Amino acid sequence: MSKVPEAASRIMVALDYPSAEQADVLVRSLEGIPCWMKVGMQLFYTAGPDFVLKLKEKGYQVFLDLKMHDIPNTVKGGAESIARLGVDMFNVHAAGGKQMMQAALEGVEKGLASSAKAKRPLVIGVTQLTSTSQSVMNEEIGIGGTVEQAVIRYAQLTRDAGLDGVVASPLEVTRIKEACGPAFVTVTPGIRPKGAEIGDQSRVLTPEEAFAQGTDYIVIGRPITGAPDPRAALEAILASVSQ
């Protein structure tokens, strides 16, 4: 690909690997494409902060996807450490409530005060996982109403807590923007290019459809990381969303 489309800066590649070595192979294969790198629980728990620092040294924007959900003081401490690490975005569960989310922001400010190099990361709330179906939400989790209603309620709570945006299904982006304003950031997993397997996701759209809904960032994992040629897979996605 001779010219990298602007959309590259709005695509997050999910580095869901059990080791830093495997993740490194993928990162090297995508060198030169200015996408975000999403580091989730599996990789962070085995590779730790050092891997995040290496990604930052390579110039990548990093979304640390740990979905913090604990008592406010614990989340505050975790957010302080994350802010000092220098990531560009991290998330907490909106289900933890307004006080917990505000504690995350307090932790960020404390972390920034102790680190001259760190900049303020975007802090976003998780609404409902894209693997959550209507029946699971109602019958197992015990939340009534539709998935969309629950997502909008959490999004508004996240906005009221002062956070920057939410993680949500691409199917809910339009309603979130209507309820919380166009500047409220949406990060959307559950993205599957045409012909890709849905896997354990329940609420999905293609990359083109997700951007058409107005989302700010899309998260793509297995369709890229599980492809025989990950770089070609990402370049095909970039080509499709740039048309």
Q: What is the pLDDT of residues 11-24, one digit of tens each?
A: 999 999 999 999 99
Choice among 67, 110, 119, 194 that is catalytic: 67
Report which DSSP code applies to 15. -
Residue 3 has pLDDT above 90, yes or no: no
C-beta separation of 158 from 185 below 8 A: no
The pLDDT of residue 197: 57
The pLDDT of residue 1: 45
Question: What is the rounded distance in angstroms from the CA atom of residue 40 to the CA atom of residue 105?
Answer: 20
Close Cβ partners of 66 (under 8 Å, ≥ 6 residues apart): 40, 41, 44, 78, 82, 90, 91
C-beta separation of 168 from 152 below 8 A: no
Backbone angles phi, psi at 204, to 5 degrees: -130, 160
The pLDDT of residue 199: 54
The pLDDT of residue 205: 86
Tell me whether residue 65 is exposed, middle or buried, using C-beta atoms within 10 angstroms of its C-beta: 0 to 12, 13 to 18, 19 or more: buried
Question: What is the rounded distance in angstroms from the CA atom of residue 223 to the CA atom of residue 57?
Answer: 26
**What pLDDT digit, counting tens, does each position of 116-160 carry?**
778 999 999 999 887 888 999 999 999 999 989 999 999 999 999
The pLDDT of residue 18: 96
**What pLDDT digit, counting tens, does each position of 91-114 carry?**
999 999 999 999 999 999 999 998
Q: What angle do CA 209, 157, 38 make, to 5 degrees?
A: 50
Question: What is the rounded distance in angstroms from the CA atom of residue 208 to the CA atom of residue 173?
Answer: 14
Name which of 18, 24, 34, 25 is nearest 234 in CA terms: 34
CA–centroid distance for 146 within its chain: 23
The pLDDT of residue 196: 52
Whether 56 is catalytic: no
Q: Which amino acid is at 223?
A: P
**What pLDDT digit, counting tens, does each position of 170-213 carry?**
889 999 999 999 999 999 998 878 655 555 444 568 999 999 99
